[in-house]
Amino acid sequence: MTVKLVLTDTAARAGDLIPRFTLCILLLAIAGCETPIVYQSSQDRATITAAIAKETPGNYFIGRRFYKVDYKMWGWVRKPGEPWKQSQLVMFNEQKKLAPDREHNAIGSDNNHEYRLNGYFSGEKVYEPASDSFYPEFVLTSSTLISTNAPLIFPDQRSIDPAMRLIGPPQY
């Protein structure tokens, strides 16, 4: 009777242990499937600062494509020598020149690419329905690709994910 009781008690403890162990493994596997958030590094900030310092003053702009599936704005535009946190999120007027991605019939393919832009702000505001906001209109006359691998100008990489509905401004 004593031997039978010990075996039953040990089997009961093992029975409790197996589901707990399985649960731990399952939770670790699920946590491992999550995409890690990539944050802006000090190297990114140093690269941005150095690039801005090298920009010569002139009658042009620097633009960073900011493609979002649900929105129609083009991206962030700033004057040369200014930090990204002073940039404006704009809508392109493409009457004179198509945006680079539209020109190649590949909308959004240039997400987070950096361009030298020629053109001007029209002074008008354009309504963008998905964000229910008005953005300055930039009349594009030409563009030149600067970088396809530009450093992150946002606090973390989620901001440049086309599927994420984040529209926060650049921080640096």
Q: Which two tokens mark 47?
A: 């690269």
Secondary structure letter of residue 32 according to DSSP: H
Q: Which two tokens mark 121?
A: 């702000």
In angstroms, rounded to a whole number, what is the distance separating the alpha carbons of residues 32 and 28? Answer: 6
What contacts 25, CB < 8 A, 6 or more positions away? none
**Per residue of the chain (172 residues), what is the pLDDT tens digit?**
555 544 455 545 555 555 565 555 544 444 445 556 667 678 878 888 999 999 999 999 999 999 999 999 999 999 999 999 999 999 999 999 999 999 999 999 999 999 999 999 999 999 999 999 999 999 999 999 999 999 989 888 888 999 998 888 898 8
In angstroms, rounded to a whole number, what is the distance separating the alpha carbons of residues 62 and 82? Answer: 9
- Three-state SS string over 122-159 comes to EEEEEEECCCCEEEEEEEEEEEEEEECCCCCCCCEHHH
Asked whether the beta carbons of 150 and 64 are under 8 A apart, the reply is yes
In angstroms, rounded to a whole number, what is the distance separating the alpha carbons of residues 54 and 50? Answer: 6
